[in-house]
Each structure stands twice: as structure tokens, then as C-alpha cells.
Amino acid sequence: MEYQEGLAFARYADKNDSLVGFRDKFYLPVQKSGEPYIYMCGNSLGLQPKSTKSYLEQELIDWKNLGVEGHLHAKHPWMPYHEFLTEKMARLVGALPKEVVVMNTLSVNLHLMMVSFYRPTEKRHKILIESDAFPSDKYAVESQIKFHGFDPEKSLIELAPRDGEELLRAEDIQKVIEEEGDQIALIMIGNTNYYTGQFFDMKKIAEWGHAKGCVVGFDCAHGAGNCLLNLHDSGVDFAVWCTYKYINSGPGSLGGVFIHQRHLDDKELPRFSGWWGHDKETRFKMRDDFNPIPTAEGWQLSNPPILSMAAIMASLDIFDEAGIHNLRAKAIKLTGYMEYLLDQLDNEDIKIITPRDPVQRGSQLSIQVKNADKRLFELITEDGVIADWREPDVIRVAPVALYNSFEDVYNFVEILSKNLSKMN
């Protein structure tokens, strides 16, 4: 797309956007003036689809009218409710349906995956993560290392960018895996990185890791519903993600799990078990020894929380209608347009630290602010932008293909520009 400056171009791009109608399927938060906010925060909490209410109401009505009978006789019976999400979620993350399940929340699922896939030995006990991994991931891997009687000081390798650089270089990741791979039990990287927005090549990392005998897992919180993840073809052993960011399912909603099919039949894999992971035929006989379902469902613990799942269903139906490939194509244009306009500002007080190559990023741009001056963020917030500030010095903005317009991007950069001029 050939970008141009000026509002006319933004309006032209919106007019020619085949997905433009999807914006109207969401509630945009409204300012006191009655104007909608410029919402650039779908990487943190996605907006509410207008349809979510009716999906929730259906379950409330069935609960009201049927009580416990709803497990079998609700319009969407609750007992298998999670199964109604599986195919749609699998399409979104590029997996086989049997490799995917929606359950629990992200950090919980990460622990459950590490129970199965982090099995340290005296020789191979290390975990490789990024130095700026999301704090919960870091706490989770450190606590797993300690749980197995090892010392994070010796067993945690943190991948840091080179001095003076913000991003990890692929060749540096490869080098660490080649040099230390024999001692690495698990590679667990955030994809896309929550701070920089850097998207890693999962297939390559999985190949490098597997060649050295490591297990490879990813936290896809910032990738799911945003990038084309191709989890099955990438060959990673497992992945976890949440659904409240780009998947718009509401605050604190459930997470998704991917387990590659090569592990699904392995009943010897240690796992923490619960009745919902047990064979469906005999689950209600209540007497049998644990016999895991030979799909990702075999990792479930509890019966599904229907109200959160109904919100996920509402959102996944929108993704199915729009198509993740179409959304990704639009996201590349929207984010590229924002990058173009920011570059036109040519202002030394800000710097985009997200990769310039669209293949290495999703929708998010991370704008580093000179001298970590948070005033800029506060000023744009006062002017009607919802973005977020991440310590130490970044404003994260994510134009989301489902509901952000080119005009939103234009207005955001105008507001940023106006406030940059107040900074010195």
C-alpha cells in the first residue's frame, strides 16, 4: 500500500477496506464529550463485541429455565460446551482441532504445560527465556525450576538484546541454543514480545531447539488473534495464550492451550489431572482410574465455565466471519500506515523499537519516549487516546484490524504530534 499524508488518504483507505463494517460490531468506549476514544489498546484488553450480551443471555436463560438439566439440554449443552470452541480456536491459531483446548487462564496453563514438558535432569535442567519476558512467565519458570530442586541462578538463561539494541537477533538466539542446548530442558519464549512487539520465528526456534533435544513452548498471549501463528506446522511442543486481548472475550477470561499431536497419545507424560481430562465414556461412572482423553482435552481439570466460554464463542464467530488471513492482511496495512505517519513526524523524542519488518511484528508498535518522559503518555490520554505505558519508557499502541480504522490511526498520530510539540 502506498501511504500518503493527510486525512483524505485515511478516509480513502477506510472506504476501500473490505473489513470496515466489523468496527460496528464492537462497543467503542465513549468520552465525556460523547466522542469515542481512539482505542489503541486491544493488545491489552480487546473491546466488547455487541453480540456478546446475547450469547451470555442465552446461557443465563437456559440456567434459569433448566437448572442442572442445562448440562445436557441447554441450546448449547454445557457438558461439551468447550468443544464448540475448539474448531474455531484451532483455525485462529493454525492447529488441528485435537491439538487445542480452551481452559483455565494463561499462567495456570503455563504451569500445567511445564508439569508435562519441563522435566529437568542433572544434565539438562535449564530454561531459556527472554530477559524482558512478561513477569508472570518469569515467575512461573523460576518457580518451576525451584519446585524441581534447582536454582534459577544456574538454571535460568535470559536472552538479552546486544548492548545498545532493543530487539533480540535471531542469530543470537540460535547461538545460545547451539552452545547451551545440551543443558536446556525447555525453551519458553513470549511470542509476540509484550514490550517490544517483536514476533519470533517459532518454526526456526523449534527446529534449533529440537536439534539439541530441547522442548520448545511459546506464550502466544500477544500473538493469538493478531498474527498467523501456524502452531501445528511450526512444530512447537506446546503453546498457551489468553483470549482477553486480541480475542475480545472480556477481562480475565479463559486461556487457550496447544499441544502438538505427537504428544497427545503419550499417557506416560506426567500431568496434573482432573476429571474433565478423563475419558468421556467413563467420566460419570466415577470409579475408573484416570484415563486421559487422547487430545489436548486430556489436560483439562475442571468442567467448563460457561459464561466466559459464551463470550469467547461470540468473539470467535466474528473471527470466523472476518477470516484471520483477511484480518492479518489489514493489520499489516494499518500498522504500516501508523509507522509511516510516525516516521513523517521525524521527531527525536520518540523512536519505534518494534521491528520494521512486518513479518517480525503483529499489530503493536512500541514507541520509546526520550528520557522516559511519561508526560507524553498522560497528555495523549487527556486528549482521548487509550493506549498504555509500559515501564521503563514505552507507549504501546495497537491498531486492531477488527475495529480500528485508518482514520483512528491518523487521529492518533495528530494528537501525538500536537503533544510532542509541548514537550520541550
Closest CA to 226 of 395, 94, 423, 132: 94
Q: Which of 62, 99, 132, 137 binds ligand PLP (CB under 6 A)?
A: 137
Name the segment binding ligand PLP (CB under 6 A); options: 87-95, 105-113, 147-155, 322-330. 105-113
Indicate whether 248 belongs to the interface with ligand PLP (CB under 6 A): no
CB of 97 to ligand PLP, least distance (A): 23
Please give the Cα distance from 303 to 331 (Å, whole number): 36
Cell (9 digits) for 399: 491498531
Indicate whether 219 belongs to the interface with ligand PLP (CB under 6 A): yes
CB of 109 to ligand PLP, least distance (A): 8
Closest CA to 238 of 222, 262, 266: 262
The DSSP result for 13-75, as a single string, is HHHT-TTGGGGGGBPPPB-TTSPBPEE-BTTTSPPPBTTHHHHHHHHHHHHHHHGGGHHHHSS
Q: Which of 215, 221, 400, 420 binds ligand PLP (CB under 6 A)?
A: 221
Please give the Cα distance from 420 to 292 (Å, whole number): 57
Name the segment binding ligand PLP (CB under 6 A); options: 200-208, 219-227, 378-386, 403-411. 219-227
Q: Say if residues 322 and 402 touch (Cβ distance below 8 Å).
A: yes
List the Cα angle 295/299/303 in 5-degree steps. Answer: 105
CA quadruple 333, 345, 378, 42: dihedral, nearest 10 = 0
Neighbours of 337 (CB within 10 A): 21
Indicate whether 411 belongs to the interface with ligand PLP (CB under 6 A): no
Closest CA to 270 of 89, 147, 417, 170: 147
Indicate whether 103 belongs to the interface with ligand PLP (CB under 6 A): no
Cis peptide before 392 (omega within 30 of 0): yes
Name the segment binding ligand PLP (CB under 6 A); options: 14-22, 91-99, 131-139, 210-218. 131-139
Name the segment binding ligand PLP (CB under 6 A); options: 214-222, 303-311, 312-320, 369-377. 214-222
Indicate whether 134 belongs to the interface with ligand PLP (CB under 6 A): yes
Name the segment binding ligand PLP (CB under 6 A); options: 12-20, 104-112, 148-156, 290-298. 104-112
Q: Residue 131 or residue 282: which is nearer to ligand PLP going by CB?
A: 131
Backbone angles phi, psi at 366, to 5 degrees: -105, 120
CB of 222 to ligand PLP, least distance (A): 6
Indicate whether 105 belongs to the interface with ligand PLP (CB under 6 A): yes
Q: Which of 13, 38, 106, 316 binds ligand PLP (CB under 6 A)?
A: 106
Name the segment binding ligand PLP (CB under 6 A); options: 99-107, 225-233, 269-277, 412-420. 99-107
CB of 43 to ligand PLP, least distance (A): 8
Please give the Cα distance from 409 to 400 (Å, whole number): 10
Please give the Cα distance from 121 to 214 (Å, whole number): 12
Indicate whether 190 belongs to the interface with ligand PLP (CB under 6 A): yes
CB of 220 to ligand PLP, least distance (A): 8
Q: Which of 48, 52, 86, 107 binds ligand PLP (CB under 6 A)?
A: 107
Q: Which residues bind ligand PLP (CB under 6 A)?
A: 105-107, 134, 136-137, 190, 194, 219, 221-222, 242
